Amino acid sequence: MKRLLISLFATFCCVAATMAADRAHTLKVYNWADYIDETVLDDFKVWYKEQTGEEVEVIYQLFDINEIMLAKIEKGKEDFDVVCPSEYIIERMLRNDMLLPINKDFGKTPNYLENISPYIIDCFNKIDGSGKNANDYSVGYMWGTTGLLYNTKYVTEEEASTWETLHNEKFKKKIFIKDAFRDVYSTMLIHLRQKELQEGLVTLEELMYDSSDRSIADVEAFLRAGKHLVAGWEADFGKEMMTKEKAYINLLWSG
């Protein structure tokens, strides 16, 4: 399943009058852990001063689950300038008026928007933002897939070639699954509907947004059938479990 990550501008511009001057020279970023080398932040400060002649403070915070990020902004009224959620969260944020349009006046900075893939633009056009075009509020940051990372010492290529491996008793308590309900749900549903996909009875896009009672029940049954084999659901420690050989299989993202 394709997984699309976006950098976008959040709203919540309410700040106390006494802090207005400091806030104007503060960049607040909310990003996934391990996505950038944080030395980039110091480099950015130097670059920013070269470009503007002004100092800037960067406040860089991390999250590991989309829904935690959304709750912090929505309920905590955090005024981040840039956040990096998955595309389905952008849809929710647009519908709830939580985003500001991107200022496309980049000054001396090269215009990144001129180099966006037409395919990505089309993907953003399909996001249902209640009349708002996601391309006006977000730009692509990372693109990847959801799949199985496996230790070849214990798992063969053939075993890792199917999602049914998650039901293999051979790997009891050696499986970790990403704690990301949307990615896990969609991936399992696509697996369960392979025959219908091949026969042209349903499209991949339809499955990505299928939340029917039947589909939910089918995915739940599939996950419950392998529940006793799963060692845990992880947000950011799956790779560590793999390197320590505490896990042989990890359902995770490639990007």
Residue, of 174 and 143, whose pLDDT is higher: 174
Compute the distance between CA of residue 238 and CA of residue 245 in angstroms, rounded to an integer. 11
Report yes or no: 8 and 91 within 8 Å, Cβ to Cβ.
Answer: no
Express each pLDDT in 13-53 by its tens digit: 333 333 444 788 999 999 988 788 889 999 999 999 998 89
Res 11: pLDDT: 35
Residues 114 and 164 in one domain: no
Residues 82 and 125 in one domain: yes
Express each pLDDT in 176-229 by its tens digit: 998 888 889 999 999 999 999 999 999 988 888 888 999 999 999 999 999 999
Residues 118 and 162 in one domain: no
Domain boundary among 123, 143, 163: 143
Compute the distance between CA of residue 44 and CA of residue 48 in angstroms, rounded to an integer. 6
Express each pLDDT in 141-156 by its tens digit: 877 788 999 999 999 9
CATH code, 197: 3.40.190.10
Domain boundary among 143, 178, 203: 143
Predicted confidence (pLDDT) at residue 5 exceeds the cutoff of 90: no
Residues 207 and 246 in one domain: yes
Residues 93 and 159 in one domain: no
Residues 114 and 226 in one domain: no
Res 59: pLDDT: 94
Whole-prediction pTM? 0.69
Cα maximum dimension of the chain: 63
A 10 A CB-CB count for 124 gives 22
The distance from CA 6 to its chain's CA centroid, rounded to whole angstroms, is 7
Residues 62 and 175 in one domain: no
Residues 157 and 134 in one domain: no
| Secondary structure (DSSP) of 50-86 | HHHS---EEEEEEESSHHHHHHHHHTT----SEE--B
Res 151: pLDDT: 97
Express each pLDDT in 79-119 by its tens digit: 899 999 988 899 999 999 999 999 888 777 777 788 888 88
Compute the distance between CA of residue 212 and CA of residue 226 in angstroms, rounded to an integer. 22
Compute the distance between CA of residue 166 and CA of residue 226 in angstroms, rounded to an integer. 6
Residues 13 and 126 in one domain: yes
Report yes or no: 85 and 9 within 8 Å, Cβ to Cβ.
Answer: no
Tell me which residue of 253, 34, 241 sits closest to 151, measured CA to CA: 241
The domain in which residue 120 lies consists of 2-143
Residues 22 and 137 in one domain: yes
Predicted confidence (pLDDT) at residue 1 exceeds the cutoff of 60: no
Res 161: pLDDT: 94
Predicted confidence (pLDDT) at residue 139 exceeds the cutoff of 80: yes
Residues 240 and 191 in one domain: yes
Predicted confidence band of residue 255 (pLDDT cuts 50, 70, 90): low
Residues 133 and 233 in one domain: no
Domain boundary among 88, 115, 143: 143
Structural domain count of the chain: 2
Compute the distance between CA of residue 246 and CA of residue 255 in angstroms, rounded to an integer. 23
